[in-house]
Amino acid sequence: MSSYRLYLLVCGVGAFASTTAFTLNLIYQATVVGLSPLQLVLVGTVMEAVCFVAQVPTGVIADRYSRRLSVIVGYLLMGVGLVVWGLVPAYGAILAGTVIWSIGVVCVDGAEQAWAADEINQDQVTSAFVRGGQIYQGGSLLGIVAAVGLTAITPALPIVVGGIVTLALGVLLMIFMTENNWSPAPIGSWRSMHRQVADGVRAVRHSAVLAGIVGATLFAGMSSEGFDRLSQPFLLPHIGDHPVELVFGGLAMIAALGSIVVTGMAGQWIDVVRPQRVGRVLAVIQALTAIGMISLGWAGHWWAAVGLYLGVRLLRDTAEPVLNVWLVSATAPQSRATVFSIVSQADALGQIAGGPPAGLVAQRRAIGAGISVAGLFVLPAVALFALAAKRSSQPDQAMTS
């Protein structure tokens, strides 16, 4: 199998397995395992904390030893974590499975794309990433359907099936994945890595735009765990006698299809040569997200709650590509990848810091109150994005060099 076809296969199968396991996993945690709102949020916080801590050592494995090894180990660990998660309905087992799965995710993240860029013919790399993204969306839609059908049998089954498929993908990669066009980094790369990180930090410190983006991403990240972990349990009482798996599966399908449309619409308004407009669009998106999350926490009717839930999901899905376009316009090529990593780290730190307060409020007051508190965290992000947009009147000169 060619590296091009193997990469597309990984995109499709990986998306199918992940979506199958996670589409309704919060319902499993809340109804079968019986986790409290605070415990639901803490599971996500542990996930983000492990990803944050493991990023550097797993990056070293990929850069100094083998991208292939990192990807294979990553999928095997993700599979094991999901199987543990689904087979043992206990809080401790879910935490253990989360740790294992999170390490696996970080092993794959970045290494998979780096492997593809090295092993696929240069004239096919762009096509591979574009087609891979399309196949990923297709795999996700199939995973939603599978999750709904398997949950009707037993709530834990889609998680276990997702884990088994992920394990099978890891074994498949052991057989077919090759690594012929890459060699380990030189011995002196440790100092080079340190210098690269220092250059990225310096770029952020010396740019008001990048500093504003990093700060805003931190606050936006603080809102993520509260919404991601509490929104489905919040909607449960509104469902009534309707099948839970069909309701949430349908909502996931609508959100997946809607995000494609909304992202395409946003793409017509933004461009790397107009960073100020990009920043303004992102500030508006975050403002609407804050309003939607705060309002969702107080929604008392089914249609209002569902409409706000879908609206927030669509806005959050749209924000990521818009932010990526802005970062491209604001960074120099030599430090761009490192700055992207710094922004990702800010997001992870925000999720670690913002999850427990939202979960504690949900535990002591109401789940809706926890979601509204998470929405309040977005407000500083709106202000910081707006300020950074104001400073983005001209495209970064590095873009033209």
pLDDT in tens, 328-338: 677 775 565 56
pLDDT at 318: 77
**Cα separations (Å) of 185 from 137, 189, 274?**
33, 6, 37
Looking at per-residue confidence, does 59 or 248 come out higher? 248
Q: Are residues 131 and 212 in the same domain?
A: no
Total domains, the chain: 2
Q: Which tens digit of pLDDT belongs to each residue from 133-166?
A: 668 778 888 998 899 889 889 889 999 999 999 9
- Answer whether 355's CB lies under 8 Å from 44's CB: yes
Last residue of a domain, one of 136, 155, 179: 179
Q: Which tens digit of pLDDT belongs to each residue from 22-57?
A: 988 888 888 888 888 888 888 888 888 888 787 666
What tokens appear for 205 in the block? 């410190």
- Specify the 3-state DSSP secondary structure of 290: helix
**Cα separations (Å) of 377 from 32, 252, 312, 364, 382?**
30, 25, 14, 19, 10
pLDDT at 399: 41
- Answer whether 99's CB lies under 8 Å from 50's CB: yes
Q: Are residues 173 and 257 in the same domain?
A: no
Helices of type H across 36-156:
37-64, 67-87, 91-108, 111-119, 122-153
- Mean pLDDT across the stretch 358-362? 88
Last residue of a domain, one of 179, 203, 234: 179
In a domain, 80, yes or no: yes
Q: Which tens digit of pLDDT belongs to each residue from 200-247?
A: 677 677 778 888 888 999 999 898 888 888 888 888 877 766 777 788
Contacts of 221 (CB under 8 A, 6+ apart): 346, 347, 348, 349, 350, 351, 354
In a domain, 333, yes or no: yes
**How far apart (Å, rounded) are the C-alpha atoms in residues 173 and 11?**
12
**How far apart (Å, rounded) are the C-alpha atoms in residues 45 and 55?**
16
Last residue of a domain, one of 157, 179, 201: 179
In a domain, 188, yes or no: no
Average pLDDT of the chain, as a whole number: 81
Q: Are residues 273 and 386 in the same domain?
A: yes
Q: Are residues 101 and 212 in the same domain?
A: no
pLDDT interval class at 371 (50, 70, 90): very high
Q: Are residues 208 and 350 in the same domain?
A: yes
Say what the pTM is: 0.70
Q: Are residues 149 and 288 in the same domain?
A: no
Q: Are residues 55 and 88 in the same domain?
A: yes
Q: Are residues 171 and 246 in the same domain?
A: no
pLDDT at 198 over 80: no
pLDDT at 400: 40
Q: Are residues 104 and 173 in the same domain?
A: yes
pLDDT at 163: 96
In a domain, 67, yes or no: yes
In a domain, 240, yes or no: yes
Q: Are residues 274 and 241 in the same domain?
A: yes
In a domain, 185, yes or no: no
- Mean pLDDT across the stretch 332-352? 73
Q: Are residues 288 and 143 in the same domain?
A: no
In a domain, 184, yes or no: no
What tokens appear for 306 in the block? 């569902």
**How far apart (Å, rounded) are the C-alpha atoms in residues 150 and 147?**
5
What tokens appear for 331 in the block? 């960074």
In a domain, 130, yes or no: yes
CATH number of the domain to which 344 belongs:
1.20.1250.20
Q: Are residues 80 and 156 in the same domain?
A: yes
**How far apart (Å, rounded) are the C-alpha atoms in residues 297 and 285?**
19
**How far apart (Å, rounded) are the C-alpha atoms in residues 370 and 227?**
8
Other Cβ atoms closer than 10 A to 10: 25
- For residue 291, the enclosing domain spans 193-400
Q: Among 160, 225, 249, which Cα is nearest to 373's?
A: 225
- Which residue, chain included where needed, has tokens 């802005």? 326
